[in-house]
Amino acid sequence: MNTNQQDTAIAIPTKEFFVSMLTRDISLVDAILDLVDNCLDGALRAAGNNQVDYSRHSVIIEMNADRFFIKDDCGGIPRDIAINYAFKMGREPDDIRDSESETIGMYGVGMKRAIFKMGRDAIVLSYHNGDKFHVPISPEWLDNKEWERLPIINSESDESLDSPGTIIEVKSLYPSVSRHFESDSFINDVKIAIGEHFTMFLQRGLNIEVNQAQVSPVRVEVLVSEAKDGPAPFIYQKVIDGVTVSITVGLNTGKSLDDDDDDILEFERNRSASTAGWTVFCNDRAVIVGDKSRLTGWGDGIPMYHGQYSVITGIVEFRSVSADKLPITTTKRALDTSSEVWSEAKIKMREGLRVWIDHTNTWKNYPRSDQTKYWESSKPLSLSKAIEAVAKRDVTNKHDGAIEYNPTKKKVLPVPDTKKPSSRKIVFSRPIEEIRVVSGILFDREDEAPSAVGEKCFQIVLERSQKNDKER
C-alpha cells in the first residue's frame, strides 16, 4: 500500500436525497406561488428596471388530475441563463442576476423545487429575443444517480408560445398532488393565496388566471382623511441596513368601532376579519396577511387580539435590492424572526398598534352613528398611498433619518363626547324553565319576554345599589 497516496472522499448530495429534502418543507400552494414569482422576475428583467407595466403581462395556470401548466408572457429565459444558472440546484456567488432589482429570490431553487414537488416528468419551454428552446426534466434523469446536464433543445417550430415568455408543464403527477389538483377546494385556496401574495401586482393590472377564472386582489388598506386635520393612521419609515422599512397602522373599512353593532352586515364582519391584524410585504409580495398572533406583537406588551380590534389593520413592508437582507425564509411565505431588521421594525409596529388599541377602548361604549361623521372624508388607501398622503402633513423627522406621524400626538383622532351617556348590550342565556320561574316572581306570569325578565332583574339590582349608596 502506497502511504504517500492521498485519497479523496465523495462530498456531493445524492440526487434522491436532495430532491426529497428540497420539497419537504414547502407546501404545494407555496410551490405554485414560487412559479408565479418567477414570472414576475422575468417581467422585471425584461423591463430592465423597476418600472414594469404589469397591465401588459399575464400568467395563465391550469391544473387537473393529469397535469400542471403555467404560461406567461414575461420575457422568457435567455439561453445563457438557461445554460449556466436557471437549472442549477442553488445559486452560485457569481450569479448576479437581479442584483439591482427588487425581487425576493435568493437561493436559486424555486422553479426546480416546485417541479419536483408536483411530479416526475416536466418540460420548460422558453421564448426570448427570437430564441425558442425547451428543457425536459425526465423520470430517467431523476432516477439516474449522476448529476448529468439537462439537454437544451431548439424549438423554433413550437407554436405554444406566440410571444416572449415561458411555459412550464409537469406530468406524471404524484397521486396526492393529482388529488389536490382535481379538488375545487384546493383550487380556491390557490386563488386566494395568489390574490393575497401578489395583491400589489394584481392592483397594478397584472392578469392571473387559474383554470380560466381571473384572480382578484385581496386589498389591505387603512382609512385616511382627506382633511389635513382629519384622522389619519400611524406611519413610520426608515432605512435600516439597506432595507427601507415602511409601517402604517389604522382603521380598516370593515365594521364599526362598536363591537356589538347589530346593523353590520355579516360579509362586512368577514371582510374586516380577513385584513385585520398585520400584513407584511417584502418587495411587494405579501409574506403574511392578517396575522393576529404573537409573531407580529399581539400579546407582547399589548393585549392579545380579540373582536374589538377587528377594525385595526397594520401594514409593514421591507424593500431592498439585496433580497438576502429581507426578513424572509426560503418558502417566501414565512418570516425570519431572527432578522435584526424585523426586530427593530416590531418596536414601531407595537407603538403604532397601541395608538389604535387605545382609540378603540375610548370608543367601544359608543354607538356607530357617533363615530361615522369623523370619517366621512376618509378613503381606504394602500400602504404606499397612505404614507404619500400623510407625508403631506406635519410629519416628525427624527435624527436617525426616520419619519413618523403619530395621530395621537398630532391630536387628530376624534374623541367622544364624554358627557353623553353610553350604553352596552347585555347578552346571556339561561334555561327556559329558570326564566319562567323568575318571570312568575317578577311579573306574576311565566311567559314574559326573556329580555324583559333580564332588564327587570338588572333594574332591581341597580336600584338596590343606588339605595345603599344613599344610606352610607
Shortest CA distance to 59 belongs to which of 160, 169, 133, 166? Answer: 166
pTM of the model as a whole: 0.78
Contacts of 9 (CB under 8 A, 6+ apart): none
Q: Which helix (H) or strand (E) holds 196?
A: helix 184-197
Q: What is the DSSP letter of 124?
A: E
Hey, which bits of 329-459 come out as E strands? 378-381, 396-397, 403-405
Q: What is the DSSP letter of 82?
A: I
pLDDT value of position 273:
47
CA 287 to the chain's CA centroid: 5
The parts of the chain modelled with pLDDT lower than 50 are 99, 104-106, 255-273
455 vs 434: CA distance, rounded Å:
15
Facing residues of 222 across strands? 381
Specify the pairing of strand 312-319 against strand 277-282.
parallel
73 vs 465: CA distance, rounded Å:
75
Q: What is the DSSP letter of 188?
A: H
109 vs 92: CA distance, rounded Å:
11
pLDDT value of position 1:
54
Between helices 15-24 and 110-118, what is the axis angle to 10°?
A: 90
pLDDT value of position 91:
61
Query: Dihedral sign, CA of 17, 18, 21, 24?
Result: negative
Contacts of 212 (CB under 8 A, 6+ apart): 62
249 vs 402: CA distance, rounded Å:
16
245 vs 238: CA distance, rounded Å:
5
431 vs 380: CA distance, rounded Å:
45
470 vs 460: CA distance, rounded Å:
16
Report which residue type is found at 464.
R
Hey, which bits of 201-294 come out as E strands? 207-210, 213-214, 222-225, 234-240, 243-251, 277-282, 285-291
Instruction: Kindly give the residue spans of alpha helices, DSSP state H, lying in 70-138.
Output: 79-81, 110-118
